[in-house]
Structure 1
Amino acid sequence: MTEQDAMPHAEPREWRSLPERVRRVWLLRSVVADLTTIAVCAALAAVFVAVDWWGFWQGLVLGVIAGFAAVELATQPLQTRYEYAFQRFSIGRRDLRIRKGWMFRKSVTVPFNRVQHVDTKQGPLLRRFGLMAVSVHTAVGEHDIEALDQDEAMRVVDLITARVLTANEDV
């Protein structure tokens, strides 16, 4: 039974993936965070030794934290591949749907008549790769399409804005 069979009045969905370049952004973010964590653990270890406060528990705690960061760093290429494979979005006539997660999956449907505003975000890494995030705001939260090509992001903002105006006129 397909999704359409289960919901006979549902509109057909075209699930779209994010640009392939977003995988490099995710990988770089993780590398920076994990290397920073390892560097902070090393600096704390040096300070603890210098002030003669080094003991079993300090070594254990810092070792575990640095170890988790190292494992995260080593497995990040695989995590990024699966995260990219399972992240999709779809813009319908009445709503926006976003699917995320490869191990812990999350799906959200945002009806256009609940949208308060739509904006874009672009940090240094997204800008470097020519990407932009689209954020859809409702009364209860913010829902992101994490990265699109800059021109496509602006088209998506315009499309969602037009659908929001149409949905609000129908109410």
Structure 2
Amino acid sequence: MSVAKSAEAFRTISEAAKELDVPQHVLRHWEEVFGQVRPMRRAGGRRYYRPLDIDLLRGIRTLLYDQRFTTKGVQKIFKDEGVKYVSELGRRAAAGEATDVRPVLDDEEKPDVETPTKASTKDDDGGVLDLMPASVVPAPGALSPAMRKNLTGLLRRLEQVQDALDQATLALEAINPEDDER
């Protein structure tokens, strides 16, 4: 009969791996790939994960396994959003809250459409080129239900393509792990 540890207790690597449902070698790999993961070390090199470390690891797990980001994608999130953001994702995942970081267009939500503007730039001779005439950009609220349905369908397909690309990248990284070091 084992007694459950309190939420504030430190975890060994085997306890952390079991709690996060990943093998121990994956935690050691994440330590190498993501410099933000730094568990305490005792004599003999034994790792002890603090509650904050567990939140961070759970955030990484959510981004990699649930959101299907690549290792490089997670590194970019660390760079752009910071450690606290990824830890918060981990806390939200532990609480069973939504952790989707990719924007999703809700069918009920109106898209942000800017007021029509005329985009232009100068060509090599100094003349003005129209990049997008104002007639191409719809005015706010000008999307018909059919157009809205088509755009929503396209967005869903693009998200599926992104997921497929993320899965393919993960598969390639698993085959060629040395490519991450370049």
TM-score normalised per structure 2: 0.23
Higher relative contact order (CA 8 A, sep 6+): 1
TM-score normalised per structure 1: 0.24
